[in-house]
């Protein structure tokens, strides 16, 4: 009876390894766990799994067997939960197997092993912190983790209006929702166009935000500039006002009857305002694209401004004094001292800005409402990958929305994960 | 001789002037740049405030200052013709409850992660880090379907249940990054403090409430503000989850967006009045706690 034998026996039937070692309480505990697992499996997991893919007489594979009786969506959620439960059971079995193996090893080496009571007492300090943090993990599981997984599954079904459960059964579509984006000529062209605009938008909006914020911070922090506090108070305003308000204000401002046309342009050109010659900034696709990038820069620069201002204040004066002794002037001071120090701190901001704008649904969706869909095109001119995910969702085309959301989430997730691994977030003892 | 005598002073002042200009070119250019930017920032905001006090029947106005100034007219029609008051209370109730819930969760769990050493601690922190990678909008489809499957929308108190549902979502989303931030802040407080209190006979609870809580107050303020401002500024989730509900049950963001898109029902001046009123609380909170926010930002790298 080797340790390995005990381990694998407990892995299959928790408690059985302990039984061979004559540990009564663990054995009972393990067997009742097994009984519970079987009960859950028969009562919950199996019924859901069985309905997960039902072949209908017409050859279609649906979720659930009968309309109005089975709610396809609940079966989808139930199956996801069931799958996660199975994983949890395996984890329990593994814990039992490890413990049984450990007991066996102690007996082999010492001739005896610590008793169950001692073990529980040793574990008691584990219970309190886990109990305190449990509500948070339940919330996160129900409202963040589970929905994210189910949303991925939706991308492989035909869940869109009018196919709404429980009146209809959802159908498995495999990869066809994704294939459409590449094989259907019209959809593929639109997808490519959207992809190009998404990249342009993400890059331009992020770059402009960072450049504007940095330049303003450097200029405003010049020692000879007075009224720093005044400028800072104003520059922070776009951050303080909720973004949705300013976006609506700008949507109005750049419309044919908005302030841009009625006041600003007449002020510079000297021409009287006339509705018929006014420019509808969101009615023309190119103007709309430039305008939205400018608005995002307006909204986003205060964050960079404050960050860079903080960095500038930490640069010691000695550096500039030393430079002036060596004959440095303002330009060399800036390019050899200030800029490199700023760049170090701004580099990570570029990545947060990049992921933020890539995923920025609010501004793209809200201003997109003001744009006009050109005849013959599938999407509106301002649609990005992630905003499409949201707009299609609003139109109740859930499966298509899920495809775009999945693409967007994968890109963002990959970038974030990559930067974290590079920065050593997972290794850093301070973080952990 | 005389000529040169006459010429000299003139040349002197001229070169002085040019020198002054040359030397201060940079400064003048800097001021011009700063002031122009300040105008670009403040102009749309002032324009909105101005039109909030402007009463006009025309679709547009060509002057910056109100043509028919009235302090209350637009606000009156805002409260009488739209469900603005209930949008307002909905939004602020939602964000205040979210703020309280998530701040409590974050403060307590940050303490646990910083001060307790237990076996699953590392995996708990790791899973927080990983859950964060998932963009917050990605689960919306499932959340909506979940809400309708468990019967939230068909129940009698549909509005109330939807708001509870939204509060829980915001709370869940607000606790990941903020817990890590909070834990980092607790970590910066030396553990010797706890140890000496323990020697004096303090319980873990006393250490938490009487020693650590007062010390982490700045970070609590930052997190409370983030959790307060989050739901106010969000339009994505309410737009999707309460889209089909009556006007009374909207949030400010959804309601005001409706105002601007349905020009038939109202005019822009009324929208401006609503926008100004909606902006006041968050702007006040932001300026009041500006230093905390900036401090929290530099210590944690939060995305604003």
Q: Which range has highest mean pLDDT (A22-26, A272-276, B94-98, B228-232)?
A: B94-98
Query: Which of A159-168, A303-312, B13-22, B225-234 bottoms out in mean pLDDT, i.e. has the lowest?
Result: B13-22
**Do residues A226 and A288 share a domain?**
yes
**Chain A residue numbers touching B120 (CB-CB < 8 A):** 126, 130
Contact B134 A145 (CB under 8 A): yes
Segment A341-348 shows an average pLDDT of 80
Pick from A241, A350, A425 the residue to mutate for testing the B interface (most B CBs within 10 Å): A241
pLDDT for the residue numbered B87: 92
Whether residues A294 and A158 share a domain: the answer is: no
Contact between chains at A413 and B135 (C-beta distance less than 8 A): yes
Residues B212-248: pLDDT tens digits?
999 999 889 989 998 998 899 888 889 888 877 888 8
Residue A312 lies in a domain: yes
Reply yes or no on whether the pLDDT at B185 is more than 80.
yes
Dihedral sign, CA of A417, A421, A423, A429? positive
Verify that A196 and A48 share a domain, yes or no: no
Chain A positions in Cβ-Cβ contact with residue B144 (cut-off 8 Å)? 393
Pairing relationship of beta strands A170-171 and A54-55 according to DSSP bridges: unpaired
Q: Is residue A274 part of a domain?
A: yes
Which one is predicted more confidently, B17 or A213?
A: A213
- Mean pLDDT of the region B105-133: 88
What is the nearest CA distance from A111 to chain B, expressed in angstroms?
Answer: 27
- pTM for this structure? 0.87
The overall average pLDDT reported for chain B is 84
Is the same domain home to A401 and A277? yes
Residue B8 Cα, gap to closest chain A Cα (Å): 32
Single out the residue in A174, A193, A219 at which a domain terminates. A174
Tell me the mean pLDDT in the region B170-188.
88
Asked if residue A49 has pLDDT above 70, the reply is yes
- Same domain for A111 and A248, yes or no, is no
From A123, A158, A174, the end of a domain falls on A174
Please determine, for residue A187, whether its predicted confidence score (pLDDT) is greater than 80.
yes
Q: Which residues of B touch A401 (CB under 8 A)?
A: 141
Would you state the pLDDT for residue A394? Answer: 87
What are the φ and ψ backbone dihedral angles of B196, each rounded to 5 degrees? -70, -35
Domain contains A428: no
DSSP B242-283: STTS-GGG--HHHHHHHHHH-TTT--HHHHHHHHHHHHHHHH
Could you tell me the two tokens for A227? 């009224």
pLDDT surpassing 60 at residue A432: no
User: Is the pLDDT assigned to residue A262 strictly greater than 90?
Assistant: no
Q: Tell which wins on pLDDT, A329 or B147.
A: B147
What percentage of chain B reaches a pLDDT higher than 90? 30
Q: Establish if A345 belongs to a structural domain.
A: yes
Report angle CA A224, A226, A231 to the nearest 5 degrees: 125
Q: Which residue of B has its CA nearest to A263?
A: B62
pLDDT category of residue B301 using cuts at 50, 70 and 90: very low
In a shared domain, residues A218 and A363: yes
Between A124 and A227, whose confidence is greater? A227
What residues of B are in contact with residue A234 (Cβ under 8 Å)? Answer: 38, 41-42
- Would you say B173 and A143 are in contact if contact means Cβ atoms under 8 Å apart? yes
Question: CA A40 to CA A51: how far, in whole Å?
Answer: 16
**Percentage of chain A with pLDDT > 90?**
30
* pLDDT tens digits along B244-286: 788 888 999 998 888 887 765 557 888 899 999 999 999 999 9
Q: Does A294 have pLDDT greater than 70?
A: yes
Cross-chain residue pair A144–B173, CB shorter than 8 Å: yes
In a domain, A429, yes or no: no
Residues A29, A153, single domain; the answer is yes
Return the higher-pLDDT residue of A235 and A115. A235
CATH number at B82-300:
1.10.3720.10
Burial B81-117 (b: 16+ CB within 10 A, else e): ebbbebbbebbbebbbbbbebbbebbbbbbbbbbbbe
pLDDT, one tens digit per residue, over A102-133 is 888 988 888 888 888 888 887 878 888 899 99
- Mean pLDDT value of segment A312-340: 82
Over pLDDT 70: what percentage of chain B? 88
The pLDDT of residue B110 is above 90: yes
How many distinct structural domains can be found in chain A? 2
Q: Give the end of a domain, one of A123, A152, A174.
A: A174
pLDDT of residue A425: 63
More confident residue, A55 or B3: A55
Q: Suggest the residue from A259, A345, A404 to mutate for an interface test with chain B (most B CBs closer than 10 A).
A: A259
Q: Look up the CATH number of the domain holding residue A330.
A: 1.10.3720.10
Select the more confidently predicted residue: A121 or B88: B88
Report the pLDDT value the prediction gives residue A238, as an integer from 0 to 100. Answer: 93
| pLDDT higher than threshold 70 for residue A428 | no
3 state SS for B43-84: HHHHHHHHHHCECCCCCCCCCCCCCCECCCHHHHHHHHHCCH
End-to-end CA distance of chain B: 71
Same domain, A245 and A125: no
Do residue A153 and residue A197 come from a single domain? no
Alpha-carbon gap, residue A211 to A280, rounded angstroms: 28
Please state the rounded mean pLDDT for residues A253-269.
Answer: 87
| Distance in Å, alpha carbon of A255 to nearest chain B alpha carbon | 10
What's the pLDDT score for residue A222? 82
Q: Say yes or no: A102 and A250 in one domain.
A: no
Residue A403's domain spans which residues?
A: 178-423
pLDDT of residue A62: 87
Q: What number is the average pLDDT over the span A167-173?
A: 87
**Is residue A291 in some structural domain?**
yes
**Token pair of A287 as six digits:** 């103007």
Question: What ipTM score was computed for the predicted complex, to two decimals?
Answer: 0.86
Mean of per-residue pLDDT scores for chain A: 87
pLDDT in tens, A365-411: 999 888 888 777 778 888 999 998 888 888 888 998 999 999 998 99
Give domain status of residue A261, yes or no. Answer: yes
Structural domain contains residue A431: no
Distance from CA of B95 to the nearest CA of A (A): 13
Domain residue limits, chain B: 82-300
Residues A147, A246, single domain; the answer is no
Residue A320 has pLDDT above 50, yes or no: yes
């Amino acid at each position: 009876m080797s340790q390995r034998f005990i381990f694998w026996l407990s892995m299959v039937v928790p408690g059985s390894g302990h039984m061979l070692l004559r540990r009564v309480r663990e054995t009972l505990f393990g067997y009742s766990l097994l009984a519970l697992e079987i009960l859950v499996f028969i009562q919950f997991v199996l019924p859901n799994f069985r309905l997960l893919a039902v072949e209908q007489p017409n050859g279609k594979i649906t979720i659930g067997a009968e309309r109005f009786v089975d709610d396809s969506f609940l079966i989808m959620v139930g199956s996801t939960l069931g799958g996660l439960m199975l994983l949890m059971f395996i984890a329990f079995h593994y814990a039992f197997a490890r413990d049984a193996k450990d007991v066996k090893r102690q007996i082999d080496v010492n001739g005896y092993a610590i008793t169950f009571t001692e073990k529980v007492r040793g574990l008691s300090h584990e219970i309190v912190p886990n109990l305190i943090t449990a509500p948070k993990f339940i919330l996160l599981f129900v409202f963040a983790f589970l929905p994210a997984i189910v949303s991925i599954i939706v991308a492989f079904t035909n869940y869109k209006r009018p196919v709404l459960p429980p009146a209809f059964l959802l159908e498995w579509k495999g990869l066809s929702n994704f294939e459409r984006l590449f094989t259907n000529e019209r959809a593929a062209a639109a997808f490519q166009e959207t992809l190009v605009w998404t990249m342009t938008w993400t890059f331009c909006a992020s770059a402009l935000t960072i450049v504007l914020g940095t330049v303003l911070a450097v200029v405003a922090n010049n020692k000879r500039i007075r009224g720093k506090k005044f400028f800072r108070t104003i520059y922070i305003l776009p951050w303080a006002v909720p973004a949705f308000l300013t976006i609506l204000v700008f949507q109005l401002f750049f419309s044919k009857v908005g302030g841009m046309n009625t006041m600003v342009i007449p002020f510079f050109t000297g021409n009287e305002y006339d509705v018929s010659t006014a420019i509808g900034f969101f009615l023309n696709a190119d103007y709309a694209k430039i305008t939205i990038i400018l608005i995002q820069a307006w909204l986003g620069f205060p964050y960079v401004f404050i960050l860079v201002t903080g960095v500038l204040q930490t640069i010691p004066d000695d550096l500039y004094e030393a430079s002036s002794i060596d004959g440095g002037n303002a330009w060399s001071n800036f390019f050899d001292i200030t800029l490199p120090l700023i760049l170090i701190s701004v580099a990570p901001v570029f990545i947060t800005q990049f992921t933020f704008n890539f995923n920025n649904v609010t501004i793209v969706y809200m201003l997109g409402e003001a744009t006009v869909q050109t005849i013959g095109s599938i999407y509106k001119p301002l649609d990005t990958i992630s905003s499409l995910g949201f707009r299609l969702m609003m139109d109740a085309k859930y499966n298509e929305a899920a495809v775009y959301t999945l693409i967007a989430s994968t890109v963002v997730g990959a970038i974030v994960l990559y930067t974290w691994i590079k920065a050593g977030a997972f290794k850093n003892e301070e973080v952990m | 001789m005389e000529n040169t005598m006459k010429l000299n002073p003139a040349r002197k002042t001229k070169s002085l002037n040019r020198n002054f200009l040359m030397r201060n070119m940079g400064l003048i250019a800097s001021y011009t740049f700063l002031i122009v930017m300040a105008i670009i920032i403040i102009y749309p905001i002032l324009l909105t405030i101005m039109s909030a006090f402007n009463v006009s029947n025309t679709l547009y106005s060509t002057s910056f200052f109100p043509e028919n100034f009235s302090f209350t007219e637009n606000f009156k029609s805002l409260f009488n013709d739209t469900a603005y008051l209930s949008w307002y209370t909905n939004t602020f109730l939602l964000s205040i409850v979210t703020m309280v819930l998530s701040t409590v969760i974050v403060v307590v769990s940050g303490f646990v992660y910083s001060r307790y050493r237990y076996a699953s601690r590392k995996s708990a922190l790791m899973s927080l880090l990983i859950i964060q990678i998932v963009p917050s909008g990605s689960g919306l489809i499932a959340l909506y379907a979940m809400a309708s499957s468990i019967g939230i929308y068909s129940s009698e108190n549909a509005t109330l249940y939807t708001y509870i549902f939204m509060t829980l979502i915001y709370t869940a989303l607000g606790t990941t990054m903020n817990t890590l931030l909070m834990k980092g802040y607790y970590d910066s407080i030396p553990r010797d403090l706890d140890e000496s209190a323990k020697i004096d006979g303090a319980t873990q609870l006393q250490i938490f409430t009487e020693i650590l809580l007062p010390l982490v107050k700045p970070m609590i303020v930052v997190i409370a503000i983030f959790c307060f401002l989050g739901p106010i500024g969000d339009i994505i989730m309410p737009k999707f989850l309460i889209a089909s509900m009556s006007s009374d049950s909207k949030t400010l963001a959804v309601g005001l967006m409706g105002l601007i898109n349905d020009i038939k029902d109202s005019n822009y001046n009324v929208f401006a009045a609503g926008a100004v009123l909606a902006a006041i609380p968050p702007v006040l909170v932001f300026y009041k706690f500006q230093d905390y926010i900036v401090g929290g930002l530099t210590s944690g790298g939060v995305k604003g």
